[in-house]
Structure formats: structure tokens, C-alpha cells
């Protein structure tokens, strides 16, 4: 039975540093504990589950619950799975990867510079390689981020969107239409599809957590949802993954866990993503055609009281081909104050975390990735 939760006062601004620090330190401690954990000599084979979600679109609750149960099994172990038959048209996915390539290859440095991440207080725009870093390593990736706008939402939204810093100024920086004709329209098409899929998945997450299916609906009316286009150059000295090789000096993206609720990842045919398995072994997560990779992120772990596991992962392009990927980081509405879910609290497992506004949590995590905090929300 759920025990009554004693809730401390809800933080109202970034000035409440205790909650802010708690979020940052908690995430750092989690990453370190996953990276340094030496598992007992278990050689249990670990396979990343592939979940066909076609019957989650059925009108039968039993069918939907059956998919949710598979999601629950994955989230309580590795927090990482593939989904197939997700309903997003495959040509839309192929176009998106093509657009990622067009963005990185056809814009010149001056055009990219005009959209530099440093112009944005909310983390949107172009990330030159090495501008952001997880652990101070020089990362080879180059990126471009954009977030929620009502124009990207098929539902039109409810007009209440707030950025991570609580403002409602337009955070996105787009290339000019004449520089990259059709780019915005293709981003809109992809984003709106992913937004609907993410809302659908949140309903499955609700069922998986023994909550009413519509539990998260009102929290995702104007959600935080960031698309990141990523480019990783080919390896200078290609060599396939083996359990004994390390991240090497050509780290694409350092070991980390994602910040928001969950991530839906689309990637090109070239591998490179590696995840830390439940027994703390680096394990490649190769592309599965037609799928999205789903991983639980830190905010979901927090709000499930640690029941759902946030997956530590990294990218090392060990191949002679370049790699493109497009993660979609999905959150609840950034102005939503989130408390531990009642179904994840019991007398044996009391709430571990104070309530926090979703945007505040993400802002704190994000400001840690750039030297001096990148000026986010300042």
C-alpha cells in the first residue's frame, strides 16, 4: 500500500539551490556508481529486447496492457529496448536522416555560426564539435537541437508552452529557408509524428506502472521535447567493438544518462551506440531497421523512485563510415511540478526525491555540459 508522502515546499525558482544541487549531484552520483560498479561474476546473457508495439494501438485494453507489461520488464532491468511497428512512416524516418546529413554537409561554417548554441539560453541551435562535453573529453560529434513549438505539434498545443528556464520566448534557431529549402517542413513532419508517438508511449508507461492510462495526458499538452541531429565522423583507425577495447580517444559522445523522461532514438545504418548492461558491461546496441531505440532517462527514474532504470550509454564510431543519429528527448510539460508516482512509493520504498519542476531539473543538468554553464537560464 502507498504510504503518505511528506513533501517539502516546492521550489519556485532557480534560487532554491538546494533542490537544484540535489538534482545535479544525484545524477552525477548515479553515473559514477554505474561506471564504477564491479558486478559479481554473473555471466547472464543480456539481450536488448525488441518490443513489437503494434497491439498497443488495439482497442482492447488487454492487448495494450500486454505491451505495457513488456515495457515494464525492460524498464526495471536495463531501461533500454527497441520498438517496432510504431506507426511512424518509415519514409519520414529516412527523410530525417537525409536531412541530418544535408544540415551538416551543405551549410557552411558561417551559416552554422549564426545558429550557435551560445546564442540560446535554453540549449537550442548548432553545437560545434567539442562545444559540449559530458566528462571534459573532446567529443567528435557535431549537433543541432530544436525543441517544442506549437507549429510542430499536430494538436496545435494549448498555448501554454514554457522553456526550461520558465520563459516563453521562442528558443529555436532555424536555418533560413533559402539556405536549406524544405528543411523546416521536414523537421515539422518528423517532430509532430514523434510527439504523438511519445504521448502514446507515455500512456503505455502509465499502464506499465499500474496507473490510469491517461495519468500523464494533462502533463504532456505542451511538453518538453528536443530533437537533436547528430553527426559522428568516421573512425581514424577503424576497429570493431570487442569487450576488451575501451572508448578510445575518438569518443563521439561520453558515457552519460539522458536527462528527461525517455528518449526515442533514430539512427543510420552505422553502429556506434554502446550501453552499460545491467551487469555493467559495455554492450553494442546496433541499429535494427525500422525501429526506434527507447531508453529510460533520469527524470523518469526519479519520478518512479528508482524503479525504472536510466541507461548509461556512450557513442564511439569505430567504423570507417560516418554515423548520423536523431534522438528525441521527451519530457512532461516543463512547468509541471513532478512528485514521485504513488504506485512507486511504499513503506519499504519511501519517496527518495523532493518534488521538482521538470524544466528546472533539465536546466540544471544541461548547464553542466558546457564550460561555465553555457549561460543557460542566466
Stretch that binds Fe ion, among 1-9, 82-90, 173-181, 254-262 (CB under 5 A): 254-262
Question: 345: closest CA among 355, 336, 359?
Answer: 355
- CB 149 to Fe ion: min, Å: 23
- The site for ligand AKG (CB under 6 A) is made up of 228, 230, 253, 258, 265, 267, 273, 313, 315, 325, 327
Residue placing its CB nearer to Fe ion in the complex, 250 or 258: 258
- CB 18 to ligand AKG: min, Å: 27
Residue placing its CB nearer to ligand AKG in the complex, 23 or 345: 23
Take residue 64 and report the three cell numbers written for it: 495494450
* Partner from ligand AKG, Fe ion, none contacting 268, C-beta within 5 to 8 A by type: none
- CB 256 to ligand AKG: min, Å: 6
Q: Which residue has the cell 492510462?
A: 213
Burial of 325 per CB tally in 10 Å (0-12, 13-18, 19+)? buried
Residue placing its CB nearer to ligand AKG in the complex, 127 or 189: 127
Q: Are 203 and 217 in contact (CB under 8 A)?
A: yes
- CB 326 to ligand AKG: min, Å: 8
CB closest to Fe ion, residue no: 258
Angle between helices 183-208 and 90-106 (to 10 degrees): 130
Residue placing its CB nearer to ligand AKG in the complex, 231 or 308: 231
- CB 256 to Fe ion: min, Å: 6
160: Cβ–Cβ under 8 A, 6 or more apart, which residues? 221, 222, 333, 335
* Partner from Fe ion, ligand AKG, none contacting 74, C-beta within 5 to 8 A by type: none
Residue placing its CB nearer to ligand AKG in the complex, 11 or 327: 327
Give Dmax (Cα) for the chain. 60
Take residue 240 and report the three cell numbers written for it: 570493431
* Partner from Fe ion, ligand AKG, none contacting 230, C-beta within 5 to 8 A by type: ligand AKG
- CB 319 to ligand AKG: min, Å: 13
Taking the C-alpha atoms of residue 145 and residue 130, their distance in angstroms, rounded to an integer, is: 15
- CB 39 to ligand AKG: min, Å: 23
* Partner from Fe ion, ligand AKG, none contacting 273, C-beta within 5 to 8 A by type: ligand AKG
Residue placing its CB nearer to ligand AKG in the complex, 71 or 230: 230
Three-state DSSP class for residue 74: helix
Residue placing its CB nearer to ligand AKG in the complex, 263 or 340: 263
Question: 313: closest CA among 89, 79, 143?
Answer: 79
Helices within 57-182 (DSSP H only): 61-75, 90-106, 109-113
Stretch that binds Fe ion, among 59-67, 86-94, 230-238, 257-265 (CB under 5 A): 257-265
Taking the C-alpha atoms of residue 119 and residue 294, their distance in angstroms, rounded to an integer, is: 30
Residue placing its CB nearer to ligand AKG in the complex, 253 or 345: 253
Stretch that binds Fe ion, among 20-28, 98-106, 215-223, 258-266 (CB under 5 A): 258-266
Query: What's the DSSP call for residue 116?
Result: B
- CB 309 to Fe ion: min, Å: 14
- CB 314 to ligand AKG: min, Å: 8
* Partner from Fe ion, ligand AKG, none contacting 265, C-beta within 5 to 8 A by type: ligand AKG
* Partner from ligand AKG, Fe ion, none contacting 132, C-beta within 5 to 8 A by type: none
E-assigned strand segments in the chain: 50-52, 80-84, 125-127, 142-146, 223-232, 253-256, 262-267, 273-276, 282-284, 292-296, 313-315, 323-333, 337-338, 356-357
Taking the C-alpha atoms of residue 179 and residue 189, their distance in angstroms, rounded to an integer, is: 19
Taking the C-alpha atoms of residue 362 and residue 376, their distance in angstroms, rounded to an integer, is: 11
Residue placing its CB nearer to ligand AKG in the complex, 48 or 230: 230
Taking the C-alpha atoms of residue 255 and residue 35, their distance in angstroms, rounded to an integer, is: 8
Beta bridge partners of 142: 231
Q: Is 258 in the site for Fe ion (CB under 5 A)?
A: yes
Binding site for Fe ion (CB under 5 A): 258
Amino acid at each position: 500500500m502507498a504510504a503518505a508522502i511528506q513533501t517539502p515546499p516546492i521550489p519556485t525558482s532557480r534560487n532554491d539551490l538546494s533542490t537544484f544541487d540535489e538534482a545535479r549531484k544525484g545524477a552525477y552520483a548515479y553515473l559514477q556508481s554505474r561506471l564504477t560498479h564491479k558486478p559479481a561474476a554473473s555471466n547472464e546473457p543480456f539481450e536488448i529486447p525488441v518490443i513489437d508495439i503494434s497491439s498497443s494501438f488495439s482497442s482492447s485494453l488487454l492487448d495494450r496492457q500486454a505491451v505495457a507489461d513488456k515495457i515494464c520488464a525492460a524498464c526495471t532491468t536495463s531501461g533500454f529496448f527497441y520498438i517496432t511497428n510504431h506507426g511512424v512512416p518509415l519514409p519520414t524516418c529516412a527523410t530525417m536522416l537525409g536531412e541530418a546529413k544535408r544540415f551538416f554537409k551543405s551549410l557552411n561554417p558561417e551559416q552554422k555560426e549564426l545558429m550557435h548554441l551560445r546564442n540560446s539560453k535554453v540549449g537550442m541551435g548548432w553545437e560545434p564539435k567539442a562545444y559540449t562535453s559530458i566528462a571534459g573529453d573532446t567529443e567528435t560529434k557535431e549537433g543541432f537541437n530544436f525543441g517544442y513549438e506549437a507549429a510542430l505539434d499536430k494538436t496545435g498545443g494549448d498555448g501554454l508552452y514554457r522553456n526550461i528556464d520558465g520563459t516563453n520566448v521562442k528558443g529555436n534557431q532555424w536555418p533560413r529557408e533559402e539556405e536549406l529549402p524544405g528543411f523546416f517542413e521536414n523537421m515539422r513532419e518528423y517532430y509532430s509524428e514523434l510527439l504523438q508517438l511519445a504521448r502514446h508511449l507515455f500512456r503505455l508507461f502509465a499502464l506499465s506502472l499500474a496507473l490510469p492510462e491517461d495519468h500523464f495526458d494533462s502533463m504532456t499538452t505542451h511538453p518538453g521535447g528536443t530533437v537533436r541531429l547528430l553527426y559522428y565522423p568516421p573512425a581514424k583507425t577503424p576497429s570493431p567493438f570487442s569487450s576488451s577495447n575501451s572508448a578510445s580517444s575518438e569518443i563521439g559522445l561520453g558515457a552519460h544518462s539522458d536527462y528527461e523522461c525517455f528518449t526515442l532514438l533514430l539512427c543510420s545504418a552505422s553502429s556506434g551506440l554502446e550501453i552499460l548492461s545491467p551487469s555493467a558491461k559495455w554492450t553494442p546496441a546496433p541499429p535494427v531497421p525500422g525501429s526506434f531505440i527507447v531508453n529510460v532517462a533520469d527524470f523518469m527514474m526519479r519520478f518512479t523512485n528508482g524503479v525504472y532504470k536510466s541507461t548509461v550509454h556512450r557513442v564511439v564510431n569505430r567504423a570507417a563510415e560516418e554515423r548520423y543519429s536523431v534522438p528525441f528527448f521527451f519530457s512532461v510539460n516543463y512547468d509541471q511540478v513532478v512528485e514521485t508516482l504513488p504506485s512507486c512509493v511504499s513503506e519499504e520504498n519511501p519517496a527518495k526525491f523532493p518534488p521538482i519542476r521538470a524544466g528546472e531539473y533539465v536546466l540544471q543538468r544541461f548547464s553542466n555540459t558546457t564550460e561555465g554553464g553555457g549561460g543557460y537560464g542566466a
